[in-house]
Amino acid sequence: MNTDNAKIRELSRRAYKYGFVSDLPSDALPRGLDEQVIRLISAKKSEPQWLLDWRLKAFRHWLTMREPTWQNVHYAPIDYQDIVYYSAPKPKTPGPKSLDEVDPELRTMFAKLGISLAEQERLTGVAVDAVVDSVSVATTFKRKLAEVGVIFCSFAEAVQQHPELVRRYLGSVVPYSDNFFATLNSAVFSDGSFCYVPKGVRCPMELSTYFRINAADTGQFERTLIVAEEGAYVSYLEGCTAPMRDNNQLHAAVVELIALDDAQIKYATVQNWYPGDAEGRGGIYNFVTKRGKCAGARSKISWTQVETGSAITWKYPGVILQGDDSVGEFYSVALTANYQQADTGTKMIHIGRNTRSTILSKGISAGHGQNTYRGLVKVQKAASGARNHSQCDSLLLGSQCGAHTFPYVEVKNPSARVEHEASTSKIGDEQLFYCRQRGIREEDAVPMIVNGFCREVFKELPMEFAVEAQKLLGVSLEGCVG
Amino acid sequence: MLEIEDLHASVEGHEILRGISLRIEAGEVHAIMGPNGSGKSTLAQVLAGNPGYQVSGVVRYQGEDLLAMPAEARAVAGIFLAFQYPVEIPGVGNLYFLRTALNAVRKQRGLEELDAMDFLALAKERMQLVEMDPELMNRALNEGFSGGEKKRNEIFQMAILQPSLAILDETDSGLDIDALRSVAAGVNALRGADRALLLITHYQRLLDYIVPDYVHVMANGRIVQSGDKALAVELERHGYAHFEAPPAPGEGS
């Protein structure tokens, strides 16, 4: 009837202009995985015996496991013996000396996203001595954190400096035997973040991997552990809106959060990894296990995620609501374009009394993208007075994409109240014409409508991040148009 | 300002406009009346550039070939359509939307874009013109608005965008008498020697408040009678029945 569909198709073909940079470090183990490799990883990191034992236990268990097939995504078999499981973090090949040497297209992208100069330098690998600014900022932040007793460092550093804390909490939310990818991670994890907020402390700033020195090169098997003691509060930001390049196709990260009595953890993610090209070749497989445990009474854990990258996204950030009156929240925006596939959602496990959970999921599919919401709300026998509200909205751009919703509900306590709402809508010709009649071009109207659709989730993000996320969606949808 | 010659429009092979000719000069107010299905709204949509219609004929707007212009270019050139059924866009703030629209138009015209503060001042001033509830400004575009609030919002947008040619598609339907009066006041405030108005309506009622220079009756995709304000009064008395005779066999193009 008109050309709008063709235009939407064109709009939704996003160009990801930055190919992979091939600079595999030479100090890497040979491909493949056996006990010897795990011993080597552990030895290279000078880890204590208990940690090596834990890794080995995980590895032996992993050998008995099978890759899951229940998810609604399709990919060629992964050869786990064809992966390099350890490569030493080492100085990179000399990067550009200043931003003037950086690909102008990349800089245009940064400008569109409103990324600061210092961060642009960091992201493009401008030689470290040129980024004095960001380093000194990071150092200042570290000092400020130390003053209030917050520990924020790399996982490997925490193993050396705070082994008792790591040992107490590692695997306490995601046990080594949890699932195929988490178990693999437990055996071979490279590095990641560790954060500990002591009793009664309100972390004075948003923590971001950006401010953690040595944050770069955490690799494909990242491990994050965040502990908030009684009455503590922390807000954590993972990732950034800038495009992420990586040589590794498979990513299997694990994130564990623990909130004790009256503690609150907010965890926000913006993920923009390489999604593959317009024909669906290449792209990151992102198989992540994220879980929080509201161990204490009146504790609260919130997950907010904006997922626009990766060829495949498989993640279900969940909350175990163990403490009475504890609260779990999940706010998600997932965008799939071209041939991207996402199977994502959450798990809310109600164990304690009067526990509450909220789920708000916004899926956007464009091109041939397939977007699946999969969620589990489980109310156990003792969880009297538990309440859940779930809302899953899908927005379709064009006619070749798909949106799917699989809500699972298991209720074993009769006093529980569980609500589920779902909707699917399309950007209508009428909406587009209305915008155009007011002078707004289609390529501006589509991101505006999509951002409106996601607004309830964006407002859960810290202000600056929300602005970036909004721009990111705009840029992602803008693609090669114009 | 606007010259329409033998305009035809069809949708999925179904002809709705069957040869419309009409001339509108700056400063004039024209009303188009007619029964349901006579093609009034289609005319409005076609003039505004809805891509859902196959169109033929000639339309000149300020000397330009209007049919060759995409919808957004027509908006930039000063054509505004107050929709019969304004769409809802969830999550997109009413004011944000309008500022985006105004700045898109200003940018195309080579004017400086308004920042949030200047825009807010402008919006507050124009809001009074249509007695718009300020609370609606903070909501998403038309989301959860009543029928009357949506219509009022259209006229508010018009007051901000200051078009040269405004087409009001059944803006009066769904308005109670007080709302009708304030909307009409808003429209009248925008009348001027360099502006033209095309009102589409079923009822003469609106024309008591916005007095037209010309009244046209549409039936079966054509203008079947034109006259002055008196024609509207006559229609109100006798109805459209005698205009609705089915087209003779072989008629139409």
Instruction: List CB contacts of A143: < 8 A, sequence separation 6 or more.
Output: none
In B25-141, which ranges are E strands? Answer: 29-33, 54-61, 64-65, 79-82, 89-93, 140-141
The answer on pLDDT for A171 being more than 90 is yes
Task: Output the CA torsion B156→B161→B162→B168 (10° steps).
Answer: -60
Mean pLDDT over the full length of chain B: 90
**Residue A219: pLDDT band with limits 50, 70, 90:** low
Task: At B31, list the tokens.
Answer: 């009303």
Estimate to the nearest angstrom the gap between the alpha carbon of A314 and the chain centroid.
10
What gap in Å lies between CA A149 and CA A198, rounded to an integer? 7
Which residues neighbour B217 within 8 Å (Cβ) at sequence distance 6 or greater? B32, B33, B34, B223, B224, B225, B226, B231, B235, B240, B243
Chain B contact present for A1, CB below 8 A:
yes
Q: Which two tokens stand for residue A465?
A: 């991040």
Residue A52's SS3 state is: helix
- ∠A284-A289-A291 over CA atoms, to 5°? 145
Residue A291 above 80 pLDDT?
A: yes
- Looking at residues A337-361, what average pLDDT do you find? 93
- A28 pLDDT band, cuts 50/70/90, is low
For residue B164, the tally of other CB atoms under 10 A from its CB is 17
Q: What is the pLDDT of residue A107?
A: 64
CB contact under 8 A, B91 and A454: yes
**Token pair in block for residue A128:** 């470290």
- CA nearest A45: which of A153, A154, A160? A160
Choice between A60 and A21, residue whose per-residue pLDDT is larger: A60
Q: How confident is the model at residue A214 (pLDDT cuts 50, 70, 90)?
A: very low
Q: Measure in Å the smallest separation between the Cα of A430 and chain B Cα atoms.
A: 7
Contact A397, A446 (CB under 8 A): yes
Residue, of A310 and A198, whose pLDDT is higher:
A198
Question: Between chains, do A438 and B101 touch, taking CB under 8 Å as contact?
Answer: yes
Residue B121, chain A, CB below 8 Å: the answer is no
B116 falls within a domain: no
pLDDT above 90 coverage of chain A, percent? 46
> Does residue A296 have a pLDDT over 90?
yes
Q: How far apart are CA A342 and CA A448, in angstroms?
A: 22
- Chain center to CA of B114: 25
B89 touches chain A (CB under 8 A): yes
* Eight-class DSSP state of B127: H
A3 touches chain B (CB under 8 A): yes
For A73-130, the pLDDT digits (tens) are: 888 888 888 887 876 655 444 555 666 666 665 666 566 655 666 666 555 544 333 2
Residues of A with Cβ-Cβ distance to B12 under 8 angstroms: 1
The residue of B89, B94, B105, B154 whose CB has the most chain A CBs within 10 angstroms, and thus the best one to mutate to test that interface, is B89
Query: A179: helix, coil or strand?
Result: coil
pLDDT band at A56 (very low <50, low <70, confident <90, very high): very high
A216, pLDDT greater than 50: no
The Cα A101–Cα A215 span in angstroms is 23
pLDDT band at B35 (very low <50, low <70, confident <90, very high): confident
E strand or H helix at B155? helix B147-161
- Cβ neighbour number for residue A206 with a 10 Å cutoff: 17
Domain count, chain B: 1
Give the CA distances from residue B106 to residues A373, A449, B27, B102, B115, in Å, rounded to whole numbers and listed in that order: 41, 21, 23, 6, 12
pLDDT tens readout for residues A365-377: 888 888 999 999 9
Domain assignment of residue B172, yes or no: yes
Task: Report the interhelical angle of B94-108 vs B147-161 (nearest 10°).
Answer: 30
The partner residue sitting opposite B89, judged by closest CB among A429, A442, A449, is: A449
Beta carbons of B161 and A431 less than 8 Å apart: no
Answer whether residue B49 shows pLDDT above 70: yes
- Contact list, A435 vs chain B (CB under 8 Å): 89, 101
Please compute the mean of the pLDDT values over residues B174-188 and round it to a whole number.
88
Pick from B35, B31, B74, B79: which is nearest to B51 by CA? B74
Give the dihedral sign, CA A110/A111/A114/A117.
Answer: positive
Interface of B with A in 34-63 (CB under 8 A): 48-52
- A245 burial (CB, 10 Å; 0-12 / 13-18 / 19+) is middle
In a domain, B43, yes or no: yes
Q: What percent of chain B has pLDDT over 70?
A: 96
* Mean pLDDT, residues A292-298 taken together: 97
Q: Do B75 and A436 touch (CB under 8 A)?
A: yes
| Cα–Cα distance for residue pair A97/A43, rounded to 1 Å | 35
- From A3, A431, A455, residue closest to B87, measured CB to CB: A431
Q: What is the CATH number of the domain that holds B195?
A: 3.40.50.300
Reply yes or no on whether the pLDDT at A353 is more than 90: yes
- Phi first, then psi: give them for residue A445, nearest 5 degrees: -70, -40
Instruction: Report if residue B101 sits inside a domain.
Output: no
Dihedral sign for Cα atoms in the order A4, A5, A7, A11: positive
Beta strand A285-294 pairing with A233-239:
unpaired
Is residue B13 in some structural domain? yes
- What rounded mean pLDDT belongs to chain A? 81
Q: Which residues of A touch B11 (CB under 8 A)?
A: 1
Q: Please judge whether A438 and B97 are an interchain contact, meaning their C-beta atoms are less than 8 angstroms apart.
A: yes
Q: Which residues of A74-92 are buried (b: 16+ CB within 10 A; e: fewer)?
A: eeeeeeeeebbbbbebeee
| CB neighbour list of residue A145: distance below 8 Å, 6 or more residues apart | A151, A152, A203, A204, A205
Q: Rounded to a whole number, what is the distance in Å from the CA of A403 to chain B's nearest CA?
A: 19
- Predicted confidence (pLDDT) per residue in A406-440, tens digit: 999 999 999 999 999 999 888 888 999 999 999 99
Q: Which domain holds residue B51?
A: 2-86+146-243
Average pLDDT over residues B150-172: 94
Q: How far is A129 from chain B (nearest CA, A)?
A: 38
pLDDT digits over A231-287, tens only? 999 999 887 665 555 556 788 999 999 999 999 999 998 888 877 777 767 788 889
pLDDT of residue B239: 78
CA A352 to chain centre: 27
C-alpha span between A290 and A192 (Å, rounded) = 13
Instruction: Show the tokens assigned to A145.
Output: 């954190």
Q: Of A9-23, A134-148, B38-52, where does mean pLDDT reach its minimum? A: A9-23
Tokens describing residue B136: 């609606």
DSSP class of B221:
T
Contact A464, B152 (CB under 8 A): no
pLDDT interval class at A355 (50, 70, 90): very high
Give me the amino acid identity at A253: A
pLDDT tens readout for residues A374-407: 999 999 999 999 999 999 999 988 788 888 999 9
Q: Does B105 touch chain A (CB under 8 A)?
A: yes
Q: Do B72 and A439 touch (CB under 8 A)?
A: yes
Lookup result for tokens 């035997």: A177
**Tokens 């502990």 sit on residue:** A227
Mutate: best of B14, B42, B55, B92, partner A, most A CBs <10 A: B92
A contacts of B49 (beta carbons < 8 Å)? 436-437
B217 in a structural domain: yes
Cross-chain residue pair B100–A3, CB shorter than 8 Å: no
Q: Which residue has the higher pLDDT, A454 or B174?
A: A454
Please, are residues B32 and B222 in contact by the beta-carbon 8 Å criterion?
no
pLDDT at B178: 86
Q: Chain A residue closest to B44 (CA)?
A: A437
Triad A105, A106, A107: Cα angle to 5°: 90
Q: Is residue B167 part of a domain?
A: yes
Chains A and B form CB pairs within 8 A to the count of 86
pLDDT band at A215 (very low <50, low <70, confident <90, very high): very low
CB contact under 8 Å between B87 and A455, yes or no, is no
Sheet with A264-271: list strands edge to edge: A207-208, A233-239, A264-271, A300-307, A327-336, A356-366, A387-397, A417-426
Over residues B98-125, mean pLDDT: 92
Hey, is the C-beta of A394 within 8 angstroms of any chain B C-beta? Answer: no
Does A467 touch chain B if contact means CB atoms closer than 8 Å?
no
Between A139 and B212, the higher pLDDT residue: B212
The reply to whether B90 touches chain A by the CB within 8 Å rule is: yes
Please report residues of B whose CB lies closer than 8 A to that of A1.
11-12, 52
Taking the C-alpha atoms of residue A317 and residue A313, their distance in angstroms, rounded to an integer, is 12
Chain B hits for A3, CB-CB cut-off 8 Å, are 51
Q: What pLDDT shows up at residue A85?
A: 81
Beta-carbon separation of B74 and A437 below 8 A: yes
Please report the residues numbered 433 through 452 in chain A whose beta carbons come closer than 8 angstroms to any beta carbon of chain B: 433-442, 444, 448-449, 451-452
